[in-house]
Amino acid sequence: MAHDQHSSSSKSENEWLDELGFEAFRVMRQNGTERPFSSPLCRTGHQGTFLCKGCGADLFDSSAQFDSGCGWPSFDKEASKGALKEVLDKSHGMVRIEVRCAKCDSHLGHLFPDGPTASGMRYCINGVCLIPQ
């Protein structure tokens, strides 16, 4: 498990920055996006789970990961119901579903209804947000 975290509302921006580092802070707390194909987690083959870098919550199981070719780690379902929350995102002239950690409210990526598996979903997640276990 990742380090024990306080609730997101009790941490200052500086505390988040110190804990996450610049790139993860920019993505997770400022709704940024990492460069496509920049994360080693785009490669499939990890066995285990993927935890939230912000709070250590279980987000995805490796059995849900697939190679979508989109440039970000992709999953077809969350680790357990309620691990993620979905928020309507109308930024950048698009309408998308933003995916956030239900526990610490960190931005993780987006959800698209174009996945190749039976679920039909593609959770497109910034690798910098994940800790493989």
Asked whether the whole model's pTM tops 0.85, one would answer yes
| Confidence at residue 92, expressed as pLDDT on a 0 to 100 scale | 83
Average pLDDT for the chain: 91
Region 11-132: CATH code = 2.170.150.20
Edge-first strand listing for the sheet containing 107-112: 65-66, 74-75, 122-125, 107-112, 96-101, 84-89
Residues with active-site annotation: 124
Each residue of 28-75: pLDDT tens digit? Answer: 999 999 999 999 998 888 899 999 999 999 999 999 999 999 999 999
| Confidence at residue 6, expressed as pLDDT on a 0 to 100 scale | 41
Weakest-pLDDT range from 24-33, 36-45, 103-112, 124-133: 36-45
Annotated domain spans of the chain? 11-132
Compute, in degrees rounded to 10, the torsion defined by CA atoms 124, 80, 105, 119. Answer: 30
